[in-house]
A and B are shown apart, each in its own frame.
Chain A
Amino acid sequence: MKRRSFLSTLGAVASAAMIGAPAMAEDLEKVSLRLKWLPQAQFVGFYMAKAKGYYADEGLDLTINPGGPNLLTENLVATGSDTFGLSGGTDSVFAAIEKGLPITCIGIAHQETPFVFVSKADGPVQELADFQDASITTWFTGANYVLYAMLAANGLDRSTMNIQPQQVSVTPFVDGQVDVVTATRYNEYYTLMTRVGEENLKRFVPEDFGVSFPRDTLIVGNDWAAEHPELVQGFVRASVKGWLDTFADKGAAIDLILKEAPTLDRAHQEFMLDEIEKIMMAGAAATDGLFAIDMDAVGKAHQIMVDYEVLEGPIDLGKAFDSQYVDAIPAAERLPK
C-alpha cells in the first residue's frame, strides 16, 4: 500500500512536470559547446547568445563547457562528448584531420594570428634581422612554426638562433634575461603592458612579415552534422548574433563574463575584448563578416605545417573546412550595423 501510493505520487509529479514544462523545453535539442579554455572575454559572444536565448530560438538547449590544459577540443567533439567545439585553431584542425578524427571546421573566429613577438623598445632587438643574435622564447605548440616561417620568409636562418621554449611566465623577459618573448595579443601582452609599459614594448606582428595563422576554429562532429544540418546552421546563426551583440554593447558583455567568472580582472577583460574584436573582424571578416573561412589564409597556414613536417603530407582542406553554414548567412547579417 505504502509503495503504491509512493509510485502514484511519483507518477503525478512526473506528469505535472511534463504539463508544466512544455513551453520552454519543447523539442529543444540538447547540445554542448566545448571551449578551448576557461571562461573569459575571448569567448563571451557565445555566453551572450545563450543569455539572450538565441540558441533556444534555433531549437538548441546549449551547455557551454570550458576547456583546460591537456584537454583537446577536437577529441571531445570527435567522440561525441561535445557537439560543437571552439578548438585551438587551424593547426589543431589539420592535425585532427590527419589523424582521422571525424570533425569538420565550420567557421574561423580569429582571422589573423592572435599572438605577436615582443621585444623592448630600448633593447637590442629593433628589427627582425636582430633576432639573429637575440635570445628568443616561444611556445613549442604551434607558435614556433609561425616564427620559423616569419624568419624564413625574410631570409633569416633560424638554425643559428637561440630559440627556447617559453614558460608560463613573462618574468624572464621583464627581467631582461630574454630579448624576445611570445605573447597573445589579449593575454600575455596585457601582462607585459602592465609590467613594462606599452611605450617600452616593440611588437613584431606575423602578418607584417607575410605570415598568417588563423586560430580559434568552430568545429562539429561529422555524423551529427550530417543528421542535423539545420541545427548546425542554427548554432552558427545564433553564435554570430551573440558576437555582434557583444561588440555592440561591450559593457554588458563584460558584466556577463564577470558573472560567469567573478575573480577575473575587469580591466584585463575589457582590454581582451577590444583585442578579440580586432582579431575577429580582421582579414576576410572585414568584408565577409564574422566566422568567415578564408581558404587563402588557411592554405598558407597549412603550407607552413607541411613545410616544417608537422604534417606528414598535405591534407584535403576542402573536406576539413566547410563554409556552407557561414556562407548561408548573408554577409550583411554577419557584420556590425
Chain B
Amino acid sequence: MSTDPMAPSRHALARGIFGGVALFLVWELVARGFDLPSYILPAVSEIVARIWTARAALGNAAAYTLGESVAGYLLGGAIGVGLALCVTLVPPLRKVIVPAATAVNSVPVVAFSPLILLWFGMGMTSKIVMVAVAVSFTMFVSALAGFDRVDERSVNLMRSFGASRAAILWKLRLPTALPLVLSGMRLSTVRSLIVAIVTEMLGAYGGLGWVIYQAVVVIDFVQVWAAIFIASLASLAFFGLVSWMERRLVFWR
C-alpha cells in the first residue's frame, strides 16, 4: 500500500465524479421514490440543506475533531517513528519492542477507549491519546520497514569511511525510509479521524462525534447524516493534504 496503484487515465477524474454523482442520484431517487422517513434514510438534498443551515455548528465541531485528530496524529507519528529509530540505533531493543508493539496493536483500539476515557477524562486529551495509540503502530511498522530497506552494502561502505551510526541514519537511512514513512502517514489520516469521532461518541465536550451522539438522543437523523458527510469531507481533505505533501517531499528524489 505504498504508491498510487497506477497512473490515472485522462478520464479518471471525470469517472470518479460520475461514480459519485450516480451514487447520490440513486440515493436521492430511492429516498424520494419510496418516501422513506428520515429515520430510515434521508434524501441527499435534505442532508445538504441541513449542512448549509447548520454550517456554523458543524464547522465548529469539525474544527474541534480535526484539532484532536491532527494533534494525536502528530504525536502518534512521532512516537512511531521515534520507536523505529530507537530500534534501528540500538539493535538489541528490537527483540523487545517489536513483539510488544505487535501484541499491543492486535488489541482493537476501541478496547482501550474505556480505560483512556477514565484516565484522561472527557476533554480533548483522551481523544488525542486514542488517536496517537491508533496511529503510532502503523507509523512504527512503516518507518521500520523503511529503515530496514537500506542496502547493507551502502551502510558498510559508509561505516568503513568512519561514519557514525547517527550519520548513517541521517544521510542514508532517513532519506531511504522517507517514502514509506510518508505513505504510512497518508494511511493514518483517515483512521485518526474515525478514532477521534468514535471516542467522542463515548464521551466528549464537543466535536463531530458529540454532535452525532446528541442528534441521536433528540432523534434528529438528518443532523446525524450531515455530521457524517462533514466527517467524510474532513477525512478526505486531511488525506488530500498529506498526499500532496508526500508528493512535494518525495519528488526531489
Which residues of chain A have a CB within 8 Å of any CB of chain B? 69-70, 72, 74-75, 78-79, 88, 92, 95-96, 98-101, 140-142, 164-169, 171-172, 310
Of the A-B pairs whose beta carbons lie under 8 Å apart in the complex, a sample of 6, sorted by A's number, is A70-B201, A75-B221, A92-B217, A95-B217, A168-B114, A168-B122
Q: A95-B219, A167-B203, A171-B118 are in contact. List 5 more A-B contacts (CB 8 A).
A: A75-B221, A92-B217, A92-B219, A98-B219, A164-B205
B40 within 8 A of partner (CB):
yes
Contact between B201 and A168, CB atoms less than 8 A apart: no
Contact between B216 and A70, CB atoms less than 8 A apart: yes
Task: Give A54 to B227 CA distance when docked, in angstroms.
Answer: 44
Main secondary structure of the interface of A (DSSP, over half): loop
Question: Within B112-127, which residues are at the interface with A (CB < 8 Å)?
Answer: 114, 117-118, 121-122
CB distance from A128 to the nearest CB of B (A): 25
Contact between B114 and A96, CB atoms less than 8 A apart: no
CB distance from B167 to the nearest CB of A (A): 49
CB distance from B157 to the nearest CB of A (A): 57
B229 within 8 A of partner (CB):
no
- Chain A residues near B121: list those with CB within 8 A: 167, 172
Knowing A69-B202, A79-B39, A101-B39 are in contact, say whether A168-B117 is a contact too (CB < 8 A): yes
Closest residue of A by beta carbon distance from B38: A99
Contact between A169 and B117, CB atoms less than 8 A apart: yes
Lowest 3 CB-CB distances: which A-B pairs, in order? A167-B122, A99-B219, A169-B118
Closest residue of B by beta carbon distance from A167: B122
- Kindly supply a per-residue 1/0 record for chain B positions 208-238, scoring 1 wherever the CB is within 8 Å of any chain A CB and 0 otherwise: 0000111011111100000000000000000
Contact between A165 and B122, CB atoms less than 8 A apart: yes
Contact between A167 and B213, CB atoms less than 8 A apart: no
B37 within 8 A of partner (CB):
yes
- Chain A residues near B219: list those with CB within 8 A: 72, 74-75, 92, 95-96, 98-99, 101
Closest residue of B by beta carbon distance from A164: B205
Task: Give A97 to B120 CA distance when docked, in angstroms.
Answer: 38
Task: Give A96 to B219 CA distance when docked, in angstroms.
Answer: 6
Task: Give A101 to B39 CA distance when docked, in angstroms.
Answer: 8
Task: Give A78 to B219 CA distance when docked, in angstroms.
Answer: 12
Question: Within B20-44, which residues are at the interface with A (CB < 8 Å)?
Answer: 37, 39-40
CB distance from B22 to the nearest CB of A (A): 27
Knowing A78-B39, A79-B40, A101-B39 are in contact, say whether A168-B118 is a contact too (CB < 8 A): yes
Knowing A100-B37, A165-B205, A167-B121 are in contact, say whether A72-B114 is a contact too (CB < 8 A): no
Closest residue of A by beta carbon distance from B37: A100
- Chain B residues near A164: list those with CB within 8 A: 205
- Kindly supply a per-residue 1/0 record for chain B positions 52-75, scoring 1 wherever the CB is within 8 Å of any chain A CB and 0 otherwise: 000000000000000000000000
CB distance from B120 to the nearest CB of A (A): 10
Contact between A168 and B220, CB atoms less than 8 A apart: no
Task: Give A153 to B54 CA distance when docked, in angstroms.
Answer: 33
- Chain A residues near B214: list those with CB within 8 A: 140-141
- Chain B residues near A69: list those with CB within 8 A: 201-202
CB distance from B9 to the nearest CB of A (A): 41
Closest residue of A by beta carbon distance from B205: A165
Identify A75's interface contact among B39, B117, B203, CB under 8 A.
Answer: B39
Task: Give A96 to B217 CA distance when docked, in angstroms.
Answer: 10
CB distance from B202 to the nearest CB of A (A): 7
Task: Give A285 to B99 CA distance when docked, in angstroms.
Answer: 60
Closest residue of A by beta carbon distance from B217: A141
CB distance from B87 to the nearest CB of A (A): 35
Task: Give A88 to B217 CA distance when docked, in angstroms.
Answer: 9
- Chain B residues near A101: list those with CB within 8 A: 37, 39, 219
Task: Give A185 to B37 CA distance when docked, in angstroms.
Answer: 37
CB distance from B195 to the nearest CB of A (A): 16
- Chain A residues near B220: list those with CB within 8 A: 99
- Chain B residues near A310: list those with CB within 8 A: 218
